[in-house]
Chains A and B, each alone.
Chain A
Amino acid sequence: MTTSTFRQDLRVVASTFEVTLKMIAVDSFVLFGILIQPLIISVLAIWMLTPKDPTQAIFVVIGSGMTGLWSTLLFVGGNSITRERWTGTLESLVAQPTPLAYIVFGKNLASVLQSLLSMVVSYALAALLFHLELRIVQPVPFAISLLLTVFSFVCFGLIIAPVFLLNPAVQQWQNAMEFPVYILAGFLFPIALLPGWTTPFSYLLAPYWAARALHATSNGSATAGELALCWGMMGLFGALYLVFSGLLLRVILRKARADATLGLE
């Protein structure tokens, strides 16, 4: 790839990001997923956890925010290709010179960054309504963890979207995939509370490593070794998802061209 082509593809990511932000900003379903649902989860979690231990407040805020992050990725990122098919724009996207992976990356980046608002909403709720003390103990490692979280979530979305396009039957399980990840990734309570046999599944999810890093850096319990492990796993999973998704998208688009399933007619 030449520098000029790379710059052009980056421009595609940036313009897809901008267009997606404009479109989801007026999508009430997305706004529910980003703002209302995490708010409900925050309130419930604050009522359940903070009376016994007020120091759990920051854990609740981070965890509730991550539920918004995951829900948005699952529904907006997951539908990023199939939605284009429904609206008849998939053919236009496939028949242009930029690889589709860049477009899906830009879309996922927009939805994941926008869903960080979930964390802001949860923070505001806990601080202003419940007057809880909220402090990020290790702010710099927290910021780095957040960046890597965005990267690994965006890359995870690159896998989900083509799988949903390839197999609409999997997409029917979309709703059922929301809460198990909340639980397995330890968004709202530590996975140590789960049966031991579920732990390997948690380790395979980038959101688990993201939650672990964000929780640990926010409450100040993150050691250098812990951070290296979490960041390394997020980087590793992100890179693996990225490579695998490129391959997956090529195979799926070839299959869609052979089976005539790019359009809906």
Chain B
Amino acid sequence: MNAIQVEHLRRVFKSTIGVLRRTTKQVVAVDDISFEVAAGELFGLLGPNGAGKTTTVKMLTTLLIPTSGTAHVLGEDVVHQAERLRARIGFIFGGERGLYWRLSGHDNLRYFSSLYHVDPAVAAKRIPYLLELVGLADRAKEKVDGYSRGMKQRLHIARTLLHDPEMLFLDEPTIGLDPVGARELRDVIRDLQAEKKTILLTTHYMFEADALCQRLAVINKGRIIALDTPAGLKRHVKDLAVVDVEVFGIPDENLARLRALPSVDTVSVEDVDQRQIVRVQTTEGSASLPAILSALSDLRLGKVNVREPSLEDAYVRLVGGEA
């Protein structure tokens, strides 16, 4: 039996605007997605902001009722068997909220352990172990109010492991963490996976997905546009080469010129401090370099690099340069 079985899941949000002339606006956040996750698998949902990742996780964790379609987690229906399922899963949503800031880290864990019906004797042993695991043992008696963002995030991880859930949902767990904190958290996730926990991880960090996930679903505008292993997804771009050009400000006209070139497949821009990296996926490799540089000739350019495509490039190609 699969740990997760999702069939034709759809979620529409409605919002009403206006007082006298009320109009209802509908947004399709998740649009007819289907996938399954095997027991013990670390499965990734990858997509840009607003792609529908969090909405999907909220439906699978019983916090949101789907508009249509079905989803079973650990064999339980997420709508009709929600109460039974809740004792068996754990989740964290990225960010600092969701903890009691006026309580200490230890008191937060003690409280949540009672909510999850963890036997007090078991909790008394597990709480110090988890605080040690997430590196908060020294600060456990301090109020959460004084914790850094990374510490709060690690406390979330400890909270979600209190009742030893069979399945974990981690929604952008490293968002906003400093590089060291994010690396430590990834190590914790690896350890959990080694314990054969089934994990669904959402992220928009490509290297994170590549390093952790066994399979990935790329989701964009509510739809799954690719589902494969990281290596399989990279094969989507094996016929391409990537030209990275460093620029200092790039107008839309130059991007339009680049996109119009016959050898160019996808163009994306990443902001890095005061400069931008323009990533051009091309079918002709370094042979297309003169045409690309000519399209950017009126700009101040920095380094230029031609390289093999990565998972990130596969992702950019799949989401059409919107990443």
Contact = CB atoms under 8 A, between A and B. Distances in A.
Give the interface SS of chain A, mostly helix, strand, loop or mixed. Answer: helix
Contacts of B61: 95
Contacts of A97: 83, 86-87, 115-117
Interface of A: 5, 8, 11-12, 14-16, 19, 22-23, 26, 87-89, 91-99, 103, 254, 257-258, 260, 262-263
Interface string B89-130: 101010101111111000100111011110010000000000
B141 to A, nearest CB: 13
A248 B63 CA distance: 18
Q: Which 9 A-B pairs have the closest CB atoms?
A: A88-B97, A15-B114, A97-B87, A8-B117, A96-B115, A88-B98, A258-B65, A257-B65, A97-B86
Given A22-B107, A23-B103, A87-B97, A94 B63 contact: yes
B62 A257 contact: yes
Contact of A91 (B98, B112, B120): B98
Contacts of A258: 65
B91 A95 contact: yes
Contacts of A262: 63-64
A12 B97 CA distance: 22
A89 B93 CA distance: 11
B103 A91 contact: no
B77 to A, nearest CB: 14
13 contacts: A15-B110, A16-B111, A19-B100, A23-B102, A89-B99, A92-B98, A95-B89, A95-B91, A96-B112, A97-B83, A260-B64, A262-B63, A262-B64
A263 to B, nearest CB: 8
The number of chain B residues touching the other chain, given as a range, is 20 to 34
Contacts of B93: 91
Contacts of B87: 96-97
A16 B100 CA distance: 12
A263 B58 CA distance: 10
A265 to B, nearest CB: 8
Nearest to A24: B102
Task: Specify which of A22, A23, A96, A98 lies most central, judged by the most chain B CB atoms within 10 Å of its CB.
Answer: A96
Contact of A23 (B13, B95, B100): B100
Contact of B98 (A15, A22, A89): A89
Nearest to A97: B87
A23 B103 CA distance: 7
A119 to B, nearest CB: 26
B61 to A, nearest CB: 6
Residue of B62, B100, B114, B116 most packed against chain A (CB within 10 A):
B114
Interface in B190-210: none
A93 B91 CA distance: 12
Given A22-B107, A89-B97, A98-B115, A257 B63 contact: yes
Given A88-B98, A257-B63, A263-B63, 17 more contacts: A11-B114, A15-B110, A19-B103, A22-B102, A23-B102, A89-B100, A91-B93, A91-B98, A92-B98, A94-B63, A97-B83, A99-B83, A103-B115, A254-B65, A258-B65, A260-B58, A262-B64
Nearest to B93: A91
A181 B99 CA distance: 34
Contacts of B13: 260
Nearest to A14: B114
Contacts of A5: 117
Contacts of A19: 100, 103, 107, 111
